[in-house]
A and B are shown apart, each in its own frame.
Chain A
Amino acid sequence: MTDLEPTSPASSSFPTSPDAPDAPDRRSPMSPALPSASEFASYAPAPESRSIVRIADEYGLWIGGDWSAAEGGATFTSIEPATGEALSLIAEASPADVDRAVVAARNAYDTTWRDLAPAVRGRYLFRIARLIQERSRELAVLESIDGGKPIRESRDVDVPLAAAHFFHYAGWADKLEWAMGAGANPRPLGVAAQIIPWNFPLLMAAWKLAPALACGNTVVLKPAETTPLTALVLAEIIAEAELPPGVVNIVTGGGATGAALSAHRGVDKVAFTGSTEVGRAIRRATAATGAKVTLELGGKSAHVIFEDAPLDQAVEGVVQGIWFNQGHVCCAGSRLLLQESIADEFLAKLRRRMELLRIGDPLDKNTDIGAINSQEQLDRIVELCAAGVDEGAEMVQSSCPLPDRGWFFPPTILTGVDTSSRVATEEIFGPVLSVMTFRTPDEAIAKANATPYGLAAGVWTENGARILWMSERLRAGVVWANTYNQFDPTSPFGGMRESGFGREGGRHGLGAYLDLDTAADDLVAGVAR
């Protein structure tokens, strides 16, 4: 992770070149015991300046092209995870506010957006992409302040990818007849309710907004309770791009706001990224409204390392897989499956590598591991790790000192994990890696697939046939072979089984926002019945 080389601003590029040498090996082979993290990390601080960011004392709801207070003036506080200090007061939307936003979105849909020439819709999205690029440094700093993620990640991954998503879908707006199964006259669905999580706040907003708008829908977006700030800057950007009022509405709030939005009768489409539990509730709530639903939910993704893998590269892949964004990643490679013959060697390398990770100020450009997003999340991580140890796992943690304020948790490896234990089956959503072993490829598949989730998987081997054999059998929407945690606007992302349904990204991502049923009727003369 020390040699981050983004391949291009638009690419996913959290990390690594697959051929990057393992950091420890770059040192002299004669070097004695590795220095501890604190010695190794004795770098001068290199903090990114906060001065580029202006955080207002209070933020309202962005509805119909205007800011307004929530009904009754309800607010909640957004807190900086790295310090525990309050950042700003945020309006908390009530069901009546949600209703206002849905009405604004409906009006905009009926009066402007739906009938706008597709190429013009595209122009607006191109503008948004450019404005995000122009304000990228500000957005990156704000993202790290509000969410706790290392500035290196928000700067090199979140913000460039968000711009790239708008740019990609901007070009789709006038080419929708080439969307999968859309037919000659592709039509939008109407008003889309979009509820996004706190782990990639701006990027998830882009994943949701860009395809919805390109297809001609209008949107009510609800950012996560703990990370609303970049979405509110995005509202400014949308205003600056001169989108017609009401095309995008942003309502802040917690679970109750999200529930009111997803069950709203005026909504034609619900797109949700978050926990499987909430996803189930949304599915139930929308059964009667008839809204189309796509869900991107939890995961417990397996990362399988065969004995013939390039081990040093695989170590880097595992590091990115579980410690990218403090492990607050739905597709985190949180279950490491090691072939027995190389398990000890691999774990030794991984532990050494873990010791080199620097934990601390998210705004420091040297920081590898930032702050845990909230007290609630930290409590959950602590509780699950304790459960893992109770169930017989051995816990190794980085010795890197933690900052004395804010919410932090060290990179953690649990070995000797039983396949049925909680840390092998429940999503931890933190920097905690559960390690298990296997002997044969069949056993690897059986263990990898032994969860109700199916979001992502990783496999490392130099044997090409084995990669294809594994890729075919891993029950996951995304398989990273000899790499991990790569993202791109053209690449569909989404899960199987209880990780949800629908895809985001590329041509496949359009299907979620087009009225394909009607389009299919157009397409086909021989429709049954």
Chain B
Amino acid sequence: MNEMGAPKTYKLYVGGNFVRSESGRVYPVESADGSTVRVAQASRKDLRDAVVKARGAQPGWAGSTAYLRGQILYRVAEMLDGRRDQFVAELENGGVDTYDAVSEVDDAVSAWIYWAGWTDKLAQVIGGVNPVAGPFLNVSTPEPTGVVGVIAPPSRPLAGLADLLAPVLCGGNTAVVLASEPAPFAPLTFAEVLATADVPPGVANVLVGRTAELAPWLADHHDVDAMEISGVDDPALAVDLTVRSADNLKRVARTDGARTPRTDGEFLEIKTVWHPARL
């Protein structure tokens, strides 16, 4: 009996729950061992549900202390690192060779740690006091943009996702991620890391499916405030997403996950507060 094992059903991660698509749809993914795995295929409704969860979670996540967000993002790195063998296997299943899989897990761990360290430094580095020519205290501080749609790259499904998602969460945004369509195993298993690292439900939602079908719906959605489209390879789709995003003036960013506070700045709004300083 024991050697039969219990192969996992690959499900979406929405609002802290692992769910099949409400549509009941699945799509076939060839595993490296030759078997075909049926992976939950997100529908437009799943995507909308995820946006609702992300919106609901956003004030709480933004309102938690920067220190706590840093601790939680670091916990993600810990959970990921502790399960590295599993992730290497998931990546290999998705067609990555062992050497690259190991290095990709390293990269993903490193990205989560890097951004964990930024949470409580952004306000000092990006914000500041402005020396206005008048009797006022004038202070600029960064605030999260809100709900961010993240299109993760099809290749490097784990580290590419980390590079794009970690900075979004770092600044207090919540996210709906469209993870790698051809290699969904590692990202969907990564959702288990999110679930066990005390990332509050809804803060990061992970969907897979037909990216070219889902991404325009995300760009159209009026309760999404920004799009991270670094993972979009097709230039025509990138233009289409930018055009759609104009409707509610979403910020559209292509950061490639560069490790600079500028990347985080793409998902932050500068708020400037004036107050008289004269009795």
Contacts and interface: CB of A to CB of B under 8 A. Distances in A.
Given A492-B140, A508-B270, A11 B134 contact: yes
A390 B4 CA distance: 73
A287 interface: yes
B75 interface: no
Contact of A288 (B135, B145, B239): B239
Interface in B225-243: 225, 239, 242-243
Contact of A479 (B125, B153, B271): B271
B196 to A, nearest CB: 25
Given A287-B239, A471-B273, A181 B134 contact: no
Given A164-B133, A295-B249, A491-B130, A478 B260 contact: no
B256 A528 contact: yes
A529 B276 contact: no
B249 A506 contact: no
Contact of B272 (A295, A491, A524): A491
Contacts, number: 157
Interface stretch (A64-72, A81-89, A480-488): A480-488
Interface in A503-529: 503, 506-508, 511, 516-517, 519-521, 523-524, 526-529
B248 interface: yes
B239 A13 contact: no
Nearest to A282: B246
A297 B132 contact: no
B262 A180 contact: yes
B276 A496 contact: no
Contacts of A12: 132-134
Contacts of A506: 130, 140
Given A478-B274, A480-B274, A500-B249, A521 B258 contact: yes
The bracket for how many chain A residues form the interface is: 35 or more
A135 interface: no
Given A11-B133, A506-B130, A481 B249 contact: no
Interface in A20-73: none
Centre residue among B130, B131, B248, B271 by max chain A CB count within 10 A: B271
Interface residues of B, number: 52
A128 B156 CA distance: 51
Main secondary structure of the interface of B (DSSP, over half): mixed
A476 B274 CA distance: 12
B172 to A, nearest CB: 12
Interface string A266-297: 00000000001001110110011000000101
A456 B278 CA distance: 22
B222 to A, nearest CB: 8
A508 B274 contact: no
Given A520-B263, A527-B258, A529-B156, A477 B269 contact: yes
Interface of B: 107, 110-111, 114, 125-126, 128, 130-136, 138, 140, 145, 153, 156, 159-160, 163, 225, 239, 242-243, 245-249, 251, 254, 256-263, 265, 269-276, 278-279
